[in-house]
């Protein structure tokens, strides 16, 4: 008996020396994209988050932020190769492509969500969660964010406006407003003055990945191939690229490019717009608008900005599945992944850490309920100044940054509820039966997208070429399948 005890003691000591444990705590790897790549303080924030998750659910976390320029490629490689990534945001990777490639776990399999994600189900209405269902299967969880978006928003540092003599402060309809509603005549006059005043800077830049979605009040269910041009009144899908709406957008950017307002290097530009502004090389850029947008963009640019909006506030069918949080189909511990995801939606301290960083290092309390930069820290020197809080699971429960109203998330919910909404809200197109056409259509669009939507190609020449290639790639068949599914969805949900 003594020999057995001695052997057990030796084994226990050996395990300790080797740094092993009989039951290692599971570690959940969380991947997301940022505009600045991996932040210096990432590992420290993960350690602080792990203190909370270990105490509450016995799980550690590892954060894996990636630069926006390589996020989609890296995630596809990781998901395909089996490299560990348990939770990830599908933004840029594409929700439906992830579904079709078999990357996503059914969140309701074996009652996973019902057992370990009760906080998630309490955070959303059924129709919001249903926006992440494909053929009845729940593959993701929406982000608590601005579901609506102000179309064709433009951000300009106020110092540049002051320098060219624009009295922007008198343009607010009400003293508490943060968005200035205006028209293209005004904006083009401002661009002309900015170009003349700052010939060494780029006048305007738009990220072509989001140009159409952020500029046009149309609804593109799941993808651009078959859209609702009159989404508040009709469920009839049309070809966007043959529409007057698309032509007018491309023609405007073509004219702006001809005026010298868009950089000749715009097609190959990889830096985020706010990074370009911060570096002093850019005067104005496109952004989607929402409550809190002025403070958000001012923080990201490192200088106060004014926000102008030229289109309506609109909420499309993909509002809930544009950037859902998903669990990798190949995760070794689905329960641990769901437990962590549930905490991210329900624990204010955990949400604050992933959104804003660590108290006493990145931020401090102001005394009135807000938080702000820790003494000696700013947006440039912070080791964890997250620029993608809109991508985090639930920023609604995180601390409020100085400059935003303490009831900003109440305003955000009102904004979401009051915006113009598509009749197809919640519809998700399952394109698995036309996946070959989708690949061909994507390839054709990618060939022309940046040239047309950054104004380098005359739309009178480029659009007919694009439409011809899309038709050859099966656009009509693709739209027909999407229309059939939309009609069936509308009938099942009593929508006419």
Write the pLDDT tens digit of every residue in 97-145: 899 899 999 999 999 999 999 999 999 988 899 989 988 899 999 999 9
Structure tokens at 473: 């790639």
Token pair of 124 as six digits: 């959303």
| Interacting residues of 280 by C-beta distance below 8 A, sequence separation 6+ | 201
Q: What is the pLDDT, as a whole number, of residue 15? A: 42
Q: Are 117 and 107 within 8 A, CB to CB?
A: yes
Output the pLDDT for position 309: 97
Q: How far apart are CA 54 and CA 48, in angstroms?
A: 10
Domains of the chain and any CATH numbers: 24-145+319-398 (3.40.190.10)
What pLDDT sits at residue 493?
A: 83
Q: What are phi and psi of 438, to 5 degrees?
A: -60, -45
- How do residues 50-89 score in pLDDT, each as one tens digit? 999 999 999 999 999 999 889 999 999 999 999 999 999 9
Nearest 5°: CA angle at 113, between 110 and 114?
Answer: 85
Count Cβ atoms below 10 Å from residue 147 Cβ, excluding itself. 24
3 state SS of 328: strand
Using 50 as the pLDDT threshold, list the residues of the chain that sit under it: 1-23
Helix (H) or strand (E) holding 27: strand 27-34
Q: What is the pLDDT of residue 299?
A: 86
Strand partners, 372: 364
- Phi–psi pair at 142, nearest 5 degrees: -65, 160
Q: Extract long-range pairs of 126-131: CB within 8 Å, 24+ residues apart.
A: 127/425, 127/426, 128/320, 128/426, 129/320, 130/320, 130/426, 131/317, 131/318, 131/319, 131/320, 131/321, 131/425, 131/426, 131/428
The per-residue pLDDT for 421 is 92
Global pTM value: 0.77
Q: How far is CA 277 from CA 48, 136, 206, 257, 459, in A?
A: 32, 44, 12, 19, 29
120 vs 60: CA distance, rounded Å: 20
State how far the alpha carbon of 276 is from the alpha carbons of 157, 195, 201, 207, 266, in Å.
12, 16, 10, 12, 12
- Contact predicate 206/261, CB 8 Å: no
d(CA 119, CA 127): 16
Closest CA to 286 of 219, 216, 348, 349: 216
Distance in angstroms (rounded) separating the CA atoms of residues 321 and 223:
11
pLDDT the model gives residue 202: 97
pLDDT for the residue 272:
85
Beta-strand runs (E) in 47-169: 60-67, 87-89, 133-134, 137-138, 149-157
């Amino acid at each position: 008996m003594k020999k057995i005890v001695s052997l057990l003691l030796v084994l226990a000591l050996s395990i300790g020396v080797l740094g092993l444990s009989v039951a290692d705590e599971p570690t959940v790897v969380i991947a997301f994209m940022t505009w600045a790549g991996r932040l210096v303080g990432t590992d420290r924030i993960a350690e602080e988050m792990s203190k909370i998750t270990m105490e509450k659910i016995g799980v550690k976390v590892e954060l894996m932020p990636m630069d926006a320029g390589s996020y989609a490629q890296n995630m596809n490689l990781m998901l395909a190769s089996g490299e560990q990534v348990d939770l990830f945001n599908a933004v840029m990777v594409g929700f439906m492509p992830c579904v079709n490639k078999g990357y996503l776990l059914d969140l309701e399999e074996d009652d996973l969500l019902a057992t370990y994600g009760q906080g998630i189900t309490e955070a959303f209405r059924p129709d919001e969660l249903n926006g992440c269902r494909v053929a009845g299967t729940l593959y993701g969880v929406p982000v608590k964010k601005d579901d609506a978006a102000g179309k064709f928003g433009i951000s300009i540092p106020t110092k540049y406006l002051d320098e060219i003599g624009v009295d922007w402060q008198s343009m607010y309809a009400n003293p508490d407003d943060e968005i200035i509603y205006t028209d293209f005549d005004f904006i083009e006059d401002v661009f002309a003055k900015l170009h003349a005043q700052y010939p060494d800077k780029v006048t305007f830049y738009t990220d072509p990945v989001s140009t159409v979605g952020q500029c046009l009040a149309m609804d593109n269910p799941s993808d651009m191939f078959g859209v609702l041009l009159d989404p508040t009144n009709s469920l009839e899908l049309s070809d966007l690229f043959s529409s007057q709406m698309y032509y007018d957008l491309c023609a405007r950017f073509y004219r702006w490019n001809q005026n010298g307002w868009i950089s000749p290097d715009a097609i190959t530009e990889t830096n985020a717009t706010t990074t370009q502004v911060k570096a002093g090389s850019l005067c104005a850029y496109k952004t989607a608008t929402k409550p809190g947008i002025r403070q958000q963009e001012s923080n990201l640019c490192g200088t106060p900005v004014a926000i102008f909006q030229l289109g309506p506030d609109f909420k499309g069918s993909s509002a809930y599945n544009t950037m859902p949080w998903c669990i990798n189909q190949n995760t070794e511990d689905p329960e641990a992944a769901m437990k962590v995801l549930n905490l991210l939606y329900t624990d204010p301290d955990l949400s604050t850490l992933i959104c804003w960083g660590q108290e006493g290092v990145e931020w401090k309390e102001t005394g009135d309920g807000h938080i702000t930069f820790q003494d000696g820290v700013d947006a440039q020197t912070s080791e964890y100044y997250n620029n993608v809080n809109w991508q985090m699971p639930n920023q609604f429960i995180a601390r409020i940054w100085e400059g935003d109203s303490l009831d900003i998330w109440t305003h955000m919910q009102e904004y979401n509820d009051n915006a113009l909404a598509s009749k197809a809200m919640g519809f998700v197109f399952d394109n698995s039966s036309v996946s070959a056409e989708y690949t061909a259509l994507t390839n054709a669009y990618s060939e022309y997208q940046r040239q047309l939507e950054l104004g380098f190609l005359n739309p009178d020449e480029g659009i007919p070429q694009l439409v011809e290639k899309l038709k050859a790639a099966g656009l009509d068949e693709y739209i027909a399948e999407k229309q059939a599914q939309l009609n069936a969805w509308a009938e099942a949900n009593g929508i006419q």
